[in-house]
Amino acid sequence: MLQVLDDGFFRRLCEGLGFICIAVDTELRIVFWNEQATHHFEHTQAEMVGTAFLEILDEADRDAAHKLFFEAMGQKQPRDMEVKYPQVDGQRTTLVLIISPIINDAGLCVGASAGMRDITQRKRMSQELSQSRRMASLGRVAGGIAHHFNNILGGMLTSIDYVLSSDSPRELRKTLRLLAQSIGRATRITNQLAAFAESENELVEWKELNPVLDDFITKLRPKIADANQTLETNFETIHSDPYESQRVQTVLESIAQNAMEAMPPGGKLSVNLTRDDDVAVIQIRDNGCGIPENLKEHIFEPFFTTKGELAGGSSENIGLGLAAVHGMVGEMGGTIRLNSKIGEGTEVTIRLPLQRKK
């Protein structure tokens, strides 16, 4: 049976931990520095005690870490973030920093512990896995594109063969109009693919969800005004881990575009952001035509569309949007759900974790 553990035991325990363990006072001066910290940062405890913790971080991370420390100590709740540490060879390792407040017997916060683990290799493997998944998705998209281009080109060849056997100027003009329409469809598909590729190759910018939603709304307002529709927003202020800004905006823009196309002039689009425990909930609701019950199960399938030219409609939407949306939300660790009633409209609900898995 274990005896009562003394302070010396806990110090030895912390010194022998398999990850970096640093303790700071309320002014973020280092008061404890374990062996793993010595191994990683190549400075001994004697050298580091009394120095400013923030000095060991990359300059770009210091303001965010400073804010997070005082948020953790003020709210007496753990916080975490990713930080960079410059190496001698010019490379940067990625560390996950977990800040936990230290509370004394009187319930007062007297400092914080900073647990750190090197996740550089894990991040690299995650990026490689993500790239592999994107390549697999690209293969599926390429197959779908090839199928639709074959349909377009096959129709063009049939029209040409037909008119070559006819001497009628009327049939010739009719065929030329059909060829022009087919070329227009092919051009729009190509342009949408180019736009998708440009968004994938943009410089990655990481933001919390509130500023991402604000940027999205700023871009959406003029489109809503041009469509003679109205926009209603209700955003709670929530704190989340940073997300890849362009990816989240691509998801939201695709859903909003579908909603706008489903509504006549005068329609209303609502965008809400709320918190449900440890999840951010984004809801985009329209009062458009709705989706028939028999089509709901296909709505996230690649190239499925109820209103685009590929479905016999007049819209330029080719059905890439919601299939890509479903995959992107899943890659971000979230879920997406759709509710719709004919004549009442559609509501899309996206749930994203406030703290992402490292």
The reply to whether domains 7-118 and 204-358 share a CATH topology is: no
Are 269 and 286 contacting, i.e. CB atoms less than 8 angstroms apart? yes
Are 63 and 43 contacting, i.e. CB atoms less than 8 angstroms apart? no
Fold classified for 121-201: Helix Hairpins (1.10.287)
Identify the CATH homologous superfamily for domain 7-118: PAS domain (3.30.450.20)
Per-residue model confidence as pLDDT tens for the chain (358 residues) = 344 445 666 677 777 777 888 999 999 999 999 888 888 888 888 899 999 999 888 888 899 899 999 998 998 888 888 887 766 555 677 888 899 999 988 888 999 988 888 887 776 776 666 666 666 656 666 666 777 788 788 888 888 887 888 888 888 888 888 888 888 777 767 766 665 555 555 556 788 999 999 999 999 999 999 999 999 999 999 999 999 888 898 889 889 988 998 899 999 999 999 999 999 999 999 998 888 777 766 666 554 555 543 333 344 444 455 767 887 888 888 999 989 888 889 999 999 999 876 5
Nearest CA to 27 among 147, 109, 138?
109
- Which CATH architecture fits 204-358? 2-Layer Sandwich (3.30)
Q: How far apart are CA 328 and CA 254, in angstroms?
A: 11
The domain segmentation of the chain, as residue ranges, is 7-118, 121-201, 204-358
- What contacts 239, CB < 8 A, 6 or more positions away? 208, 354
Determine the angle formed by the axes of helices 169-201 and 120-164, rounding to 10 degrees.
170
